[in-house]
Amino acid sequence: MLQEQEQRHVYYDRDLDIEIYNLSGIVQKFPNHFHEYYVIGFVEGGCRHLWCRGQEYDLSAGDLILFNPRDNHYCAPINGELLDYRAANITPDRMVKLVGDITGEAYAPRFTQNVVYQSEIAQSVGGLYRSIVSGAPKMEKEEALFFLLEQVLQDYAAPLGEAGQSAPNQKIQTLCDYMEAHFSENITLDDLLTMTDFGKSYLLRAFTKQVGVSPYRYLQTIRLDQAKKFLEQGIAPVDAASMAGFADQSHFTNFFKEFIGLTPKQYQRIFTEPSSCGEAGKGRPGNA
């Protein structure tokens, strides 16, 4: 019954070069993870408990959500309520270009709040979503996007030149860099220990505190991001799983749906079937 109530739609707009999505009738929990892109979203209906960067929030209809790239977060339903959520995903490169068009200075902004309760800006997110889904003229979609970003930048982004999120110290950053460079390999905790003078317990505590997720979750999230890129290029899910370092197809599929909300095949359909508008929405071409 719950599966019949669920709807998961993702759309890519070529004119704007952004992705939007709608999750409705959702009771799924999303575990601790992060994204490589900005997220501007709002709760259309239902209630959720959100954990983000060490803070906790109770969300309800009308609340605005702002995630910077790599803001770790996870959420769960409150009293079994069904979630209706809409959001826009914007890559860092695209965001820099948009900010330059709006402010005259091309830079990567940093959202200063992850949650804004009962924000009027939520309506602007909904307006952008509707304009894309309805196939509105390019000018109308561009206006919706620029008005939205101008509001967010003015009210909830740090000014140019202000310090961003504190980075991990050099030892922890070295471990992050290693996992990003060797994501497809069978990395063990002992491998990471050889690059530090930490003990296992201290390494786990220090890494999780500074990065926001454990070393294993960090590695799996990096692998997931790489797998998404492979899928976007039309690589078969079974091959994408292997290339990204997942042990087997079943593990990859379960992990992918747990974090993304779609199966790998559904996600790939967004990019390989431009004319389709099914469960996973409309597609875009693979990355060049």
What pLDDT, on a 0 to 100 scale, did the predictor assign at position 165?
59
State the alpha helices, DSSP H only, in the chain.
2-5, 92-103, 121-133, 138-156, 170-181, 189-193, 200-211, 215-232, 237-244, 249-260, 264-272
According to the model, what pLDDT value does residue 277 have? Answer: 36
- pLDDT value at residue 275: 41
In this prediction, the residues of the chain whose per-residue pLDDT falls under 70 are: 1-4, 161-166, 273-288
Q: How many CB atoms lie within 10 A of CB 148?
A: 19
CA distance 28 to 15: 32
The reported pTM is: 0.81
DSSP tally for the chain: helices H, then strands E: 11, 10
Other C-beta atoms within 10 Å of 71: how many? 18
What integer pLDDT is reported at residue 27 of this predicted model? 87
Write out pLDDT tens, residues 201-239.
999 999 999 998 999 999 999 999 999 999 988 999 999
CB 239 within 8 A of CB 200: no
